[in-house]
Structures are given as C-alpha cells and as structure tokens.
Amino acid sequence: MKLDSLTAAALALVLASLAVPARAQLRLPSLPSLPRPNLPELSASLRRELPALAELTQARHRRIGELLRERGDVVEADPRGEPVRRGELVLTAPSDALLAAARADGFDIARERVLDALELRIVTLRAPPGWDTQRALQRLREIDRSATVDYNHLYLQSGDTATPHAAASGVSSPPAAAPIGIKVGLIDGGVESAHAVFRGTAIHRWGCADQSVPSAHGTAVASLLVGRAEPFRGAAPAATLYAADVYCGDAAGASVDNVAAALGWMFSQQVAVVNVSLVGPANRTLEQVVRRASARGLLLVAAVGNDGPAAPPLYPAAYPEVVGVTGVDAHSRVLPEAGRGPHVAFAAPGSDMAAAGVAAAAYVRARGTSFATPLVAGLLAASLHEPDAAKAALAVAALARSAIDLGAVGRDAVYGHGLVGRTLRTEPSLVMVDR
C-alpha cells in the first residue's frame, strides 16, 4: 500500500524522533527477521498518536538524563548511556580467589547478598579510589575472565500516571475476598496499602527496613494486580501480594543487586508469579538470577518498555525465560511507543484506563506497558499456587490459547500471542471525578 503524503511525512518524523541521543544510544543486537507491520493500521495509528509519540518514546531517556544531573554523586552512565551506580560492580558467585585479588587491588565490598533460596551469592564491589567504573570492570575481568561481573545497572519504571482524581460516587470497597491460596509478587516502588482497593488484601513487604514508602507507580501497578473496589477490579483480586520495594523513595534505588535480592526473597516465599514493570539493559547478574529462578519454577512477567518500535529490546522482558508484555489502547491497537520484538508474548490493556493513586481514595489515568503487565501476571497467577516450571509452562500455553489474535496471524512481534485481559480495563470516568 502506498502511504499518502501526510502519513509519509508523519512516519518520517516519528522515525526521526525515535533516534536516541548519542550519549544514550544503545547497540542494537542481531534479531531474527520479524513480520512487517500492517501499513494501513500503522498509518491510522500515526495520525492519532503523532503529537505525543516523540514525548512518550523519549521518556526513559529523559529520566536517565535527570538522574545523571540530580544524582551525579551516585549515578553515572555506562559506555552505552545506561544509568549505573557510580563506582560499583556486581559479581555473581565470585570465587574467593577473585575477591582476594580484588581486595589486593584496592576494591572494597560495598554489599554482599546471599540468596539462600536460589543458592546464589551476589557481591557488590566498590572501585578503588581514583578509578573510573569502566576501568574497574575491565580489571575484574582481567583477573578472572570466567567471572560473572557487570555494572550495577539501574532499572526504571515503564509507564506514567496522570494527576490523581478523587473517586467518583458509587465506587465502594466490597467485603474482603476470601484467600484462595494464590501468591503473586511485585518488584517495583512502594504500595499505598491504605487505598480502598486494597481493603482486605494481605500484603507482605520487603525492603526499606520494613518501612512503607508508597509510590505512584508501585501503587497503580499493584491495584491492577490485586485491587478491588467496584467497579474497579484487578486481575487477581483475591491473591496475597508480596511487594518488594526496590526504590524506597530513591530514584537510584532499583539497582541490579537490589532487584536480584528481591527475586531471591520472592522465591524464598514460594511466590509463583512475579510482576516486574521495570526496564533497563541486559546485565550478566540479572540474567543469571532470572535463569536460576526460572529453572526452579518462578514465572517472571515483565513490561517490554516504551522506547518505541525501533528501539533495542529492554530487560528483563527480553530474556527468553520471561513473559514479555505490551500494551494496547481502548480500541485494541498497540501503543505506538511500545517495544516490539520476538520477546513480546502477550498484549493487555495499557492506556485509557484507571488505576489506584497514592491518596486513599484517588484514582489516576495510567498509560504504558507497565500497566498492561500486571493484568497478564494476575491471569497467570490464577492457576499457580507455588513455583513449578512445568505448571508455569502450561499456564502460559493456556493463556496463549485464550488470547485474541491481533496483527499478523499467529504469534507476532507486535502483539505476541494476542490480547488478554480485555475486560479488566476500567474506564476512568467510572471511578474518578474529572476536574
């Protein structure tokens, strides 16, 4: 099909907007050949979304820039422009010989975490005074070329919530749902458990020295996972929530070693499905922890991110063991800012939807793959009561069979197996008072 001049110009503008600034440009890995997008559908989508598309696809890179400016004392960019903890390197299962040699070179141990449930030890080293982080990484790899060592990357939230609105009349919390033996995990910011949607929900916390540090993103994602206040409903409203706060109010808090420790805690609590609406680069330690947890039956469900269709894949969603989730709008069209690729497994509602806000009776408008992910995680958790690799595979296969096929026939790089959780979208006007 030949594009008209307006659409062609729009497409050119969009593609130009997707170019990442040189400082933050990521190397595109070699990917298998993917189905070409449907041009009529893409054309119509561009007409509707063009005004906001450049803004949406650059959101993560703007956040990285803000981190580098505001937290330059503890955050820097790696050679690909991704944010890392300044002067820190993470080692997975390091040998005693490597640690001894590192100490002899002037490295200090910043933190050590033993993930007993996963039988894994993670050590975070601090570079010697006067060394830059890249030089320190190279030195550790020279000492032991077989070691799993990498930067202590930071992972960012994959979606935004608008200004909170008060709840509309008629929104009420039903009696507490009876526990049904389902555990579902959340690795994110803190959750405002006082919100009406969590009435009667059992929430177990990890992180922040047992202090509650509610966040807008974590609360919204949690509400879509386990919340309930008619007519609002999350995907698994009777499940017990295991919420790991890896930020504790600090934008530089969601580091690899912290996320890894949270995953270890989830497995120790026998949580079967864990939602991660965070995105970042590939990392050797994260890869090892994800692989170890998956082999032992933990099912990880993660957002594919909002860097745009031309962007490199983001992690942990792009690891083969993880269920990657994209978002669609109220008309079942993929969000134009959503990532694409063979790692996309499912699509779910990800915009034109309400979620809980941090105020006890407030709701927000949510947009992004962050908010599609808990709908998929909750649906998968419904049949999984404990980590079990075989049962997890069956649950994913069953959900794939129930999916509404969109885009190219069969699994594709835009919608994955197709759309699930369509009825779990709550129209904002039903639960919030517009200002």
The rounded mean pLDDT for the chain is 87
Please give the pLDDT value at position 12: 45
| Phi and psi angles of residue 191, each rounded to the nearest 5 degrees, phi first | -115, 130
Cis before residue 35, ω within 30 degrees of 0? no
Element (H, E) at 153: strand 148-153
| CA distances for 267 relative to 83, 158, 270, 277, 396, angstroms | 27, 24, 5, 18, 19
Cis before residue 37, ω within 30 degrees of 0? no
User: In the structure, what pLDDT confidence band is assigned to residue 26 with cuts at 50, 70 and 90?
Assistant: very low
The conformation of residue 161, written as its DSSP 8-state character, comes to E
Element (H, E) at 232: strand 232-233
Q: 212 burial class (0-12, 13-18, 19+ CB within 10 angstroms)?
A: middle
* Coil/strand/helix, residue 244: strand
- Quick: pLDDT tens for 351-400: 999 999 998 779 999 999 999 999 999 999 998 999 999 999 999 999 99
* Coil/strand/helix, residue 128: coil
Cα–Cα distance for residue pair 137/39, rounded to 1 Å: 45
Residue written as tokens 């790696």?
Answer: 78
User: In the structure, what pLDDT confidence band is assigned to residue 52 with cuts at 50, 70 and 90?
Assistant: low
Which comes out higher in pLDDT, residue 55 or 260? 260
DSSP 354-370: EEE-SSTTEEEEEESHH
| pTM for the structure as a whole | 0.87
Name the percent of the chain in helix, strand, coil, to the closest 5: 35, 25, 40
- C-beta separation of 314 from 307 below 8 A: yes
- Quick: pLDDT tens for 62-91: 999 999 999 999 999 999 999 999 999 999
- Give the mean pLDDT of 19-29: 36
Spatial CB neighbours of 23, under 8 Å, sequence gap ≥ 6: 77, 81
Q: Which CATH architecture has domain 157-431?
A: 3-Layer(aba) Sandwich (3.40)
- Give the mean pLDDT of 257-270: 97
Query: Is beta strand 299-303 parallel, antiparallel or unpaired with respect to 273-276?
Result: parallel
Cα–Cα distance for residue pair 435/421, rounded to 1 Å: 29
Sorted by where each begins, the domain ranges of the chain are 74-153, 157-431
Residue 37: count of CB within 10 angstroms of its CB: 18
Find residue 278's DSSP bridge partners: 157
Cα–Cα distance for residue pair 259/255, rounded to 1 Å: 6
Give the number of C-alpha atoms closer than 13 A to the C-alpha of residue 139, restricted to the C-beta side.
Answer: 21
Q: What is the CATH code for 74-153?
A: 3.30.70.240
Cα–Cα distance for residue pair 417/354, rounded to 1 Å: 25
What size, in residues, is the chain? Answer: 435
